[in-house]
Structure 1
Amino acid sequence: MLVWINGPFGGGKTQTAHELHRRLPGSVICDPEHAGFGLHRMLPPALRGDFQDLPAWRQGVYEVLDLALTRHHGPVIVPMTVVEPKYFDETVGRLRERGHDVRHFSLLARRETVLRRLRERGFGHVVQLVAGKDAPLRRESFAVTKLDVCLERLRGAEFGEHVWTDDVTVAQVADHVAASAGLTLTPNTDSPLRGRLRRAWTGARHIRFD
């Protein structure tokens, strides 16, 4: 089974994916961003746009996930924002046509909730301490410019199942996704402090500098 976690940038995809992976024995995370940033590094800076616009990215994601689903005997978890219907069809759609069991979830939240999460992730807390809570989201400018279109398109029926995350924890989102997909998670034994530290570490590990 493939569990595709969609949502706006800053919507909690990575944290949810890692919570599922932590509590789902035999699962793996396959992050298509790695392929995208690899393609970016191969191109001259002037040619680097949205890597999802590259047919090579979409074809590569399909082929790699097809291989993982065929050879790996456990759930494959994919945290990736895809809001272009054509690109969605070329990845999720083709995998379903291939016969794979693909469960797709869009994590949604109010605009102000996502903006707050963008400020808090990575080094966001440090920036707020130094520059104030209203400091601009310079490093997250791409995510901010894409936010409205992401929230609008992901509400469409083709991007279901929709999961609203404003007032629930990451663990609760993972519980919902797993239950809907028919997967059984191990109990969440984290204390509130340990959970915060775990999420902070996950966020720090996924900071991009390129």
Structure 2
Amino acid sequence: MLLWINGPFGGGKTQTAHEIQRRLPGSVICDPEHPGFGLHRMLPPGLRADFQDLAAWRQGVVEVLDLALSKHDGVVIAPMTVTDSGHFAETVGRLRELGHDVRHFTLLAERETALKRLRERGLGHLLRYVSGKKAGLRRESWAVQQLDHCLERLREPEFAEHLWTDHSTVAKTADRIAVLAGLTLLPNTEGPLRTRVRQAGVGLRHIRFD
């Protein structure tokens, strides 16, 4: 089974994916952003637009996820924002055509909630900015610019199942996805402090600078 977790930038996709992976033995995260940023590195900076517009990204994501789903004995989790209908068909749709059990979920939140999460995520980027690495803050600015478009597009029926997260913790959102997908997660026995530390670590590991 593939759990594709969609949603706006700063919507909690990565944290939710890691929460599910932590509590679902045998599951793995296959992040479609990785080949996207790899393709960016191959291009001159001035040519680095949205990597989802590259056929190589869409085809590569399908090929890699197809391999993981075919050979890995466990649930595969892919946290990735996709708002273009054509790109959605060429990735999520194509994997379904190949016979895979793909469960797609879109995490949604009100604009104010999403902006607050982006600002909190940007704190780690700010630390690198003052050290002279500005790419992190530029990416946060780009994410904010894309927010309204993402929130509007992802509310469309084609991007269901929709899960509103304004008043939900990451753990509760993971629980909801598991129930809808027919999966059983291990109980969440973490205390609040340990959860904050672990989630901060996840956030820091996913800061990009190129």
TM norm structure 2: 0.93
| Paired AA for residue 13 in structure 1 | K
In the alignment, what sits opposite 1:200? 200
Deviation at 1:159, TM superposition (A): 0.3
Superposed, 1:1-210 pairs within 5 Å as 1-124=1-124, 138-210=138-210
In the alignment, what sits opposite 2:133? none
Deviation at 1:47, TM superposition (A): 1.0
| Paired AA for residue 11 in structure 2 | G
| Paired AA for residue 187 in structure 1 | P
Q: What is the CA RMSD across the aligned residues, in angstroms?
A: 1.5
Distance (whole Å) between structure 1 residues aligned to residue 123 and residue 96 of structure 2: 38
| Paired AA for residue 44 in structure 2 | P
Q: Which runs of 5+ in 1 are unaligned?
A: 131-136
Percent identity between the aligned chains? 74
Whether the aligned pair in 2 keeps the contact of 1:118 and 1:124 (CA below 8 Å) is: no
Segments of 4+ moved more than 2 angstroms: 122-127
SS state at 1:140 partner:
helix
Q: How many residues align?
A: 202
| Paired AA for residue 74 in structure 1 | G
Give per-residue Cα distances to partners, 1:97-129, cap 9 Å, x unaligned. Answer: 1110000000000001010001111535967xx
Whether the aligned pair in 2 keeps the contact of 1:15 and 1:199 (CA below 8 Å) is: yes
TM norm structure 1: 0.93
SS state at 1:3 partner:
strand
Q: Which runs of 5+ in 2 are unaligned?
A: 131-136
- Do the aligned partners of residues 126 and 44 (structure 1) sit closer, same or farther apart at CA in structure 2, a change above 3 Å counting? closer
